[in-house]
Amino acid sequence: MTEKAYSKGTEFPPLGDGKLRLYSMRLCPYAQRTRILLAHKKIPYETVNINLKEKPEWFLERNPLGMVPVLEQDGKVIYESTICNEYLEDINKQNSVTPTDPYRRARDKMLLEINSKFTTAYYKALMSLKGEDAKSTIEAVHASLVPLEKAIVERGNYYGGEKPSMLDFLLYPHYERIEAIRTGFHADLMPIDKFPKLNAWVSRMQTVPAVKETMFDTQTHIDNPGQFLNDNEKVYGHLSIESPYIELVTNFYKFVRSQGQDQEAQTELNKNLEIFEKAIEKRGAYFGGDKVAMLDFFVWPWFERMSPLKAMNIEMLPEDKFPNLNQWVARMRNLPAVKAKLFDDQSHLIFMKSYSSGQPNYDFGL
């Protein structure tokens, strides 16, 4: 199969029964996360590269967010890099890289969340390499790396200790590109004197067979400056945002802060809600199907706040556009666990008014 990227208007390449396919983009660090794990676990698969600026219609049918990586096999579609990797671990137990200790797994997820601050700062710095705020954005990258340097000092050769773990594979791809930025664009995002252990970790990771199989050398990264200097949010489909849930929350607060005036935030919020509307339509009474699941509890709090916002002329969930979500909201309100923690509409309204004014009253009613 060709390594050239499929773009808008191209025909869907047939996928055989039982065959695992990865939708990717050769230089995308998020897709590389999954390519590394596939290589480590020696899982056979085929790759279909996607033009992320001119996405094929059939790709958007598989992932409405338009991002890579995406896995497909026998009609099952999985997307988001961390979710893809967790799924591969669950269905292929050989060469496992996930800690068995629940506390260690939780700590790893906390470090991955801390790393999201680095990736956000990383992209902001890249987009301002030639701007007036280049110095301050690079300093922000340095600040974001401090807890990651501390963690690798404490853990050993890898974040997994003496051998690479899932966390190492998820973190590594962005760090692979730092040397290209350092030598090709004269911006040192990770100075060796400030971050000796992180720099040593990158060198060590580049000796890991699965990483060697999937990595590009520094010159290749330098020769493809578009991955650094273009509008990265459009090229990669995200900065630090890696799920429609987080996009929903981000756009929810943008829209509230604007007191319902930010049309761009409303448009993006509607796109997020459409994803959840389609999902609940397919899944049933709850996102968990016939019974409530963790996802229902995760997303519920923001939906609880949408109804009282109508009193501020902020309409987020019109029934004609989102009938299934409105039914789900009504259903969730009747759950004993939700009812036990539910605030009434008036309480939400008081707080949201103070929040949108820029002076949130955290202690009202106390």
Write the CA distances from 281 to 145, 275, 286, 347, integer angstroms.
42, 10, 9, 30
Residue type, 119: T
d(CA 149, CA 347): 43
Segment 354-358 long-range contacts (CB within 8 Å, at least 24 positions apart): 355/256, 355/257, 356/256, 356/257, 356/258, 356/259, 356/312, 358/257
Distance of CA 55 to the CA centre of its chain: 19
> To 10 degrees, what angle do helices 263-283 and 244-257 make?
140
Between strands 70-73 and 76-79, the pairing is antiparallel
* 28 flagged as catalytic: yes
Residue 174 tokens, joined: 């962005």
Contacts of residue 263, defined as CB under 8 A and 6 or more positions apart, other chains included, come to none
Q: b vs e for 198-222, b when ≥16 Cβ sit within 10 Å of the residue's Cβ?
A: bbebbeebeebebbeebbbebeebb
Contacts of residue 245, defined as CB under 8 A and 6 or more positions apart, other chains included, come to 298, 299
Catalytic residue among 5, 20, 27, 28: 28
DSSP 192: T
d(CA 348, CA 301): 11
Residue type, 297: F
Residue 272 tokens, joined: 């997020």
Contact present, 36 and 210 (Cβ < 8 Å): yes
Could you tell me which of 346, 364, 252 has the C-alpha nearest to residue 303? 252
d(CA 282, CA 292): 15
Kindly list the catalytic residues: 28
